[in-house]
Amino acid sequence: MVSAQDFDIAKAEYDGARMNVEVAERALAVAEANLAVTERNLEDTIVRAPFAGVVTVKAAQEGEIVSPVSAGGGFTRTGIGTIVDMDSLEVEVDVSENFINRVQPGQAVAVRLNAYPEWAIPARVIAIIPTADRAKATVRVRIGFEEKDPRILPEMGVRVSFLDGEKETLSPRPALSAVVVPREAVRIEGSRGVVFVVYEDRVEQREVTLGGASSEGQVVLSGLAAGARVVVGDVAGLVDGARVRIASEE
């Protein structure tokens, strides 16, 4: 038994303590929410690549603003850097429409880097992009390497030869060192020229960059491979993809 006054005092103390607990619990919830926001902000300061690779370009510097879209400011970057997956390097080439029917997915390919022209790298056709370039009359083809090598670097120049077994079928528009061809094989158009390269029973029209003429013939600076067979004579009536018959060969 206690007096009413003692009971009222004890109840008031109890109610005050319970209120203090509720306030502390709400303060704890607010602190936990602030902690979660702070941890999220800290997590946002760490940039993780979506795949393992090598950073080849560092686009943003310390103090610059990075945004997924351009904000128009001089210190705003739309990217932090460029990452390359060295294990997934591919070759993309443009093949003339006249010869795309001779390229198939999975077909064997020999790739030669401009830096290592004697090194034939085995590769295969991954896919043929299902659209054509109307301006160039070409179709893009993706090619994957059969072997990985540290000498293969992104953005390197390559020469590609499509194979039918061990036999080369066609080489899509290589840009190689200067060669000399007979003057009758070139149709001159200003500083550039046109030659017709023979692939089996058809010809491919090839734009080439011309150099000077010599007693041996016309110098072609780029656009034609050494050893390529070209049409000599009256080429005015030829068109790209025309069928030809080789009368005789030495």
Query: What's residue 175's pLDDT?
Result: 39
Query: What's residue 184's pLDDT?
Result: 83
CA–CA distances in Å: residue 220 to residues 175, 181, 192, 211: 11, 7, 9, 6
Q: What do you get for the CA distance between the two ends of the chain, in Å?
A: 130
Q: Residues 10-55: pLDDT tens digits?
A: 889 999 999 999 999 999 999 999 999 999 999 888 888 888 888 8
Q: Are 34 and 26 in contact (CB under 8 A)?
A: no
Query: What's residue 217's pLDDT?
Result: 79
Q: Residues 62-112: pLDDT tens digits?
A: 877 777 776 555 566 677 888 888 888 999 999 888 888 888 899 999 898
Could you tell me which residues come within 8 angstroms of residue 20 by beta carbon, excluding any fewer than 6 positions away? none
In the chain, domain spans: 54-84, 89-170, 175-250
Query: What's residue 90's pLDDT?
Result: 92
**Under CATH, which number does the domain 175-250 receive?**
2.40.420.20
Q: Residues 43-59: pLDDT tens digits?
A: 888 888 888 888 888 88
Q: Residues 163-183: pLDDT tens digits?
A: 875 555 554 444 334 678 888
Question: If you ran DSSP here, which 8-state letter would residue 230 be given?
Answer: B
89-170 belongs to CATH 2.40.30.170: yes
Q: What is the pTM of this model?
A: 0.49
- Tell me which H or E stretch contains 19: helix 4-44
Question: If you ran DSSP here, which 8-state letter would residue 8 be given?
Answer: H
